[in-house]
Structure 1
Amino acid sequence: MDNEYLTWLQNDFEDSPFWRHMGISMDYLSAGEARIKMPVSENQMNCNQFLHGGSITSLLDSIIGVTIRSSQNVKVATIYLNTHFVSPVKDGTLYATANIVHPGKSIIPVESKVVDDQDRLIAVATAAFTVLKK
């Protein structure tokens, strides 16, 4: 992937209404490798005053999309996403990364994880994404 495409990709994700709403931004981006971050926000807390699991899952889903699209110029959609929560979160910043398990042509299995700003594991996920037809 060339730098022009990666710059466009970063802007495309960061300009999306959902990313702006969640406070997600790119922390690092290169061909096939990315890290995104999200500050923990009071409006994302559940009734127990911990970060809602849906916010964490959204971060995992987002990093997978970024990672796949940084490795090839395609659009993708989630087939499934299994999330395993490891540690609760009340504050700070979360960081997400993903690894493509197998670069398939139509279905791409991926693993991803979220850590906090102390590098404490928050959640892991396994997923499969489908490549959308142009």
Structure 2
Amino acid sequence: MKGGGVMAVSDDYLQWLTKEFEESPYWKLLGISMDKLEQGEAVIKMPVKDELLNSNGMMHGGAIASILDSIIGVVIRSSRDVRVATISLTTQFIAPVKEGILYAEAKTINKGKRIQYVESKVIDEKGTIIGTALGTFAIKEKQ
């Protein structure tokens, strides 16, 4: 899969990618895990835990932004064997949340060779939209 072009990805690659993300220190800190992973489509989940609450007793916006950012990286990398870097992430916080599990998914808006635009959203267990984001990501060839 060298070259980062659009091509079918193998089940082995998707298993490796799941492990790559789930073993990252930041995902472990936040409690993020893969819920679903297919080529170009993914859902990740994150528990609302006391360590992620702000002084109002609600999930901190930074934690919500982290899952919105993370799902974009997962979706891009599930389609192409590349590395990515966030250039810009514009977030909207829609509803507060203080308990449960959050689920994030993303949809590609424009798949460029070097820059990719992706929308993401995070919902709670009842389907309430907690936040959304538009991400601009740099596509980096693997070294």
TM-score when normalising by structure 1: 0.99
Secondary structure, counterpart of 1:102 in structure 2:
strand
Match of 1:57 in 2: 65
Q: Are 1:116 and 2:118 matched, yes or no? A: no
C-alpha deviations, 1:34-61, integer Å up to 9, x for none? 0000000001010010000000000000
Q: Which consecutive unaligned segments of at least 5 residues does structure 2 have?
A: 1-8
Identity of counterpart residues, as a percentage?
51
TM-score when normalising by structure 2: 0.92
Secondary structure, counterpart of 2:110 in structure 1:
coil
Tell me the C-alpha RMSD between the 2 structures.
0.6
Shift of residue 69, structure 1, vs aligned partner: 0.1
Equivalent of residue 3 in structure 1, options 11, 15, 39: 11
Q: Are 1:126 and 2:134 matched, yes or no? A: yes
Shift of residue 113, structure 1, vs aligned partner: 0.1
Q: Which amino acid in structure 1 is aligned with residue 51 of structure 2?
A: N
Q: Which amino acid in structure 1 is aligned with residue 47 of structure 2?
A: P
Cα distance in 2, alignment partners of residues 28 and 95 from structure 1 = 10
Match of 1:66 in 2: 74
Runs (4+) of structure 1 exceeding 3 A deviation are none
Shift of residue 124, structure 1, vs aligned partner: 0.5
Match of 1:45 in 2: 53
Q: Which amino acid in structure 2 is aligned with residue 100 of structure 1?
A: T
Match of 2:115 in 1: 107
Q: Which consecutive unaligned segments of at least 5 residues does structure 1 have?
A: none
